[in-house]
Structure 1
Amino acid sequence: MSFLSSGVAVVTGAGSGMGRALAEQLAAAGSALALADVDEASLLETAQILGKTGALVTTHVVDVAKEERVKAFAADARERHGRLTLLINNAGVALHGDFEEISLDDFRWLMDINFWGAVYGVRYFLPLLKHAPRAHIVNLSSVFGLIAPAGQTAYAASKFAVRGFSEALRHELEGSHVKVSCVHPGGIRTSIARRARLGERTPAVRQEQSVAQFEQWARTSPEAAAARILRGVEQGEARILIGVDAYQIDVLQRLRPASYWKLLKKKLEKVVAAAAKEPGKPSTARKP
């Protein structure tokens, strides 16, 4: 992987999940890394893991929802690494609750991280990327940037926004040496559902229900997802789908853009029913 092995990569949300897997695989490829996360303990744990690879790694405690903090992160990364070839805006959060159960503050909190975090990252790292002979921006959307299930108004809004931002940015940078990829993962086995915020008026039991549904659906490992992203970067793919479920959903929404939810709702009901029959795993999940 020549591009990755000779580069310097920024990865946000590097303390766990796909962010940590991306950091490990980039370090193994020979890339230098500027890693960011809001959770300092998890971030340092990732750095400790990478210490065995011999890669140059710097850590930065950053809340990507804060513009000034991202701006300072970019300046710090530039001072410590001197250059940048790859930006991966991976940091993201989730929120439990239907639209009428979440507050506008809940909605803003999620948008500030999932959408504005990516925008701030591009704003302050793009000038540095433009100095490289070859550079790449990776923005994490979701399959919920392709479809919008019930109970995901805020999350889907943020991921559709990331998709639109990424596609327009890619068109603006066409012909330059800075490429843009938008990533649409399906179900990835990370802790995002367990760490999700409970909406202001969302019943507490809803978190348990949502986590049970997510864990039945999530089949792809963070390591496999990271490998797919980096392969897409090497090949210059504009759109990176991860998991069989992501490909199936992509086809479904193209064929039935106004009615895909009817089919997905039935499938989800079957998944929940199957989970309820598993020994020792009673499902508390409600129908969507």
Structure 2
Amino acid sequence: MSCFEGKVAVITGAAAGIGRALAVELARRGARLSLLDHDADGLEEVTHRCEAIGAQVLAQVVDVTDWSDVQAAAAATTSALGGVDSVFAAAGIIHRGRLLDSDVADIERVMSVNWRGLMYTVKAHLPAVVSSRAGRIVTFSSAFGLLATPRYSAYNSSKFAVRGFSESLRQELTSTQVSVTCVFPGGVRTSIVRNGLFAAGEHRDAVIRGFEKRVARTDPEEAAAIVLKGAERRRARVFVGNDARLVAILARLAGGHYQDAVPAVGRFLGRVRRQLRRP
């Protein structure tokens, strides 16, 4: 019997990627679902799929960056489903580009969705989760929340913030039976880069091809299974993919020295690619 059977799970970013895969897998495990996303069409599609499995689903089109919107969604979930046992704050957006070339609005958008939206989601649902006595909060950082890289300063900032938020909250809740699990995905086959924000001068198509061919190694369904296993065991950290585990080891062993090594490796690989393209 799954620990999620008959329990209420809230998922943001439920219309696509890991959020969608979590919704489907939790439906299979007998959970009752509150699915939140700004994408109405994608949300409708995943709702129908979960209902076909037999799950009770409350679908809400929500802007996670709007505190009033998130509060209303939390109230609706509690009213319709009788409470909240688990929260999976999976909504996210990525941005690539040098700070000099980046639009401030894009940077603010990334921070607003990835950190503020996650914090709003957790805060709005936390009273109900605490009342459930054995609840679970699952947040989503990234391998970029363990080790920073050039051209991803906005995304790095948001994911480091999620990591700090999650670790602080886990300590705050030690007097309760609520656990906080922070997830660090590596490259997962989702549309996050294809739907991402890019600064001026970035080669969008090339970045997307590179991510989808060389980086995105883990299927969303496999990622969801790893996340749920970690949440069930109430682990503080869950690494999705061998690449995320490797980054965690590198960050721990290299300390601050990686900040000099990563740009040097990037320059070397750039030279190799240019050489290979020459006739």
Distance, in Å, in 2 between the alignment partners of 1:270 and 1:223 is 31
Distance, in Å, in 2 between the alignment partners of 1:269 and 1:7 is 51
Aligned to 2:204: 207
Code of the aligned partner of 2:12 = T
8 Å contact from structure 1 (residues 97, 206) kept in 2: no
TM-score normalized by the length of structure 2: 0.93
Please tell me whether residue 4 in structure 1 is matched to residue 40 in structure 2: no
**CA separation of 1:213 and 1:169: change in aligned 2, threshold 3 A:** same
Distance, in Å, in 2 between the alignment partners of 1:268 and 1:5 is 50
Q: Can you list the C-alpha shifts for 1:57-78, whole angstroms capped at 9, x where unaligned?
A: 1100011011111011101111
8 Å contact from structure 2 (residues 7, 32) kept in 1: yes
Distance, in Å, in 1 between the alignment partners of 2:234 and 2:68 is 31
SS in 2 for 1:2: coil
How much has 1:134 moved relative to structure 2?
0.9
SS in 2 for 1:3: coil
List runs of 5+ in structure 2 lacking aligned partners. none
Q: Can you list the C-alpha shifts for 1:70-112, whole angstroms capped at 9, x where unaligned?
A: 0111011111101110000000001121111112221111111
List runs of 5+ in structure 1 lacking aligned partners. 283-288
Q: Which moved more, 1:37-46 or 1:97-106?
A: 97-106
Q: Which moved more, 1:148-157 or 1:102-111?
A: 102-111
Code of the aligned partner of 2:166 = S
Count of matched residue pairs: 275
Matches within 5 A, 1:1-288: 1-199=1-199, 202-203=200-201, 205-215=202-212, 216-261=214-259, 263-264=261-262, 266=265, 270=269
8 Å contact from structure 2 (residues 118, 139) kept in 1: yes
Q: Can you list the C-alpha shifts for 1:214-253, whole angstroms capped at 9, x where unaligned?
A: 2211101111110000000111111011111111111111
How much has 1:273 moved relative to structure 2?
5.9
8 Å contact from structure 2 (residues 32, 55) kept in 1: yes
TM-score normalized by the length of structure 1: 0.90
Distance, in Å, in 2 between the alignment partners of 1:99 and 1:258 is 21
Distance, in Å, in 2 between the alignment partners of 1:173 and 1:224 is 29
Q: Which moved more, 1:262-271 or 1:245-254?
A: 262-271
Distance, in Å, in 2 between the alignment partners of 1:272 and 1:179 is 46
What is the identity percentage for the equivalent residue pairs of Structure 1 and Structure 2?
A: 38
Distance, in Å, in 2 between the alignment partners of 1:52 and 1:235 is 28
How much has 1:263 moved relative to structure 2?
4.8
Distance, in Å, in 1 between the alignment partners of 2:48 and 2:154 is 34
**CA separation of 1:116 and 1:273: change in aligned 2, threshold 3 A:** same
8 Å contact from structure 2 (residues 133, 176) kept in 1: no
**CA separation of 1:250 and 1:58: change in aligned 2, threshold 3 A:** same
8 Å contact from structure 2 (residues 95, 110) kept in 1: yes
How much has 1:5 moved relative to structure 2?
1.2
